[in-house]
Amino acid sequence: MSDTDPPGDLQALLDELAPLLVDGSPHAVALGLTLVSLKPGLAVMRAPYAADLVGDPESGILHGGVITALLDHVCGLAAFSGFGGQDTPATLDLRLDYMRPAKPGLDVTAEAVCLKSHGLVAFVRATAHDGDINDPVATAQAAFMVTGASRAAQERAVKALRAGQPL
């Protein structure tokens, strides 16, 4: 979380922005990712089990790219909330350790925590599981950075929303 408390009520801001943080990403929408919860420095998301997301039709196992996208997105949300909900960060570094395939037929949940945010960089850790966080599918370590490009993307999104245009 941030070294300094942001002005205003951060949780109220996060609650207001939460619907846009997943639905504003066409990739997340295409994968069916959903936001379970968002709190200062913490984010939880879910990827549904769906036939069109399976990587191996014979086994029914979800494609690893779904897990990667889920972990990247949930880490980004934890970083965003760790920055106080003011700046949209870009992924600077993402390291994943796959521990086992997700069980066929089960949704995958990812839980992320922003370990530290300072200046323009945030450090995040996450775990993806299919029901038991103590038996992870994968874990992630990530670093996020507020950049000129991420600020420009944020400004375009805000402008489109204010104009009632799709993102």
Q: Which amino acid is at 102?
A: A
Tokens of 46: 């879910």
Its pTM surpasses 0.85: yes
In eight-state DSSP terms, residue 4 is S
Provide mean pLDDT across the span 32-39: 97
Q: How far apart are CA 26 and CA 115, in angstroms?
A: 27
Question: Rounded to a whole number, what is the distance in angstroms from the first to the last CA of the chain?
Answer: 28
The answer to whether residues 4 and 42 touch, using CB atoms and an 8 Å cutoff, is no
pLDDT tens figures, 99-141: 999 999 999 999 999 999 998 999 999 999 999 999 999 999 9
